[in-house]
Amino acid sequence: MTEPVSHYRKLKVWVRALDWTEQIYRATAHWPRDERFGLISQIRRSSVSVASNIAEGAARRTTGEFIRFVGIAQGSLAEAETQLLLASRLGYLPNAQAGALLGASDEISRMLAALAVSLRQRKTSSH
């Protein structure tokens, strides 16, 4: 069994994902009130799930479990990206803001992919 990460808060991808979630919350604060229980709730939950799954995975006992939670975080990120695209199409997000949020999600996606590769290498070398 490989040791878990010393603390998830030291992971740059977790910090970036948390910052991105904060940006999502600020962006959705001005969307139509009738979306409060619809798209606003959905996108907030999926964005929170990215950082949450990174944290949960890092706290797990094995590298394999961490890898699985990184995959879940990637899925939540794709879900939030889809919701951002829909919000943009509906006119809730100005193009510049949508572009910035989607650019940040691309960065987080690359960071998650790199983390998964690193974890797989660590898992392979520990056997």
Element (H, E) at 44: helix 39-59
Is 109 part of any domain? yes
Is 88 part of any domain? yes
* Cβ within 8 Å of residue 115, ≥6 positions away: 11, 13, 70
Domain count, the chain: 1
The pTM for the full model equals: 0.91
| The predicted structure's pLDDT at residue 24 | 98
Task: List pLDDT tens digits, range 67-89.
Answer: 999 999 999 999 999 999 999 99
87: containing domain: 8-126
CATH number at residue 63: 1.20.1440.60
| The predicted structure's pLDDT at residue 67 | 97
Query: Distance between CA 127 and CA 5 in Å, rounded?
Result: 18
Query: Distance between CA 7 and CA 84 in Å, rounded?
Result: 30
| The predicted structure's pLDDT at residue 3 | 47
Is 41 part of any domain? yes
What percent of the chain stands above pLDDT 90? Answer: 89
Query: Distance between CA 99 and CA 44 in Å, rounded?
Result: 18
Is 3 part of any domain? no
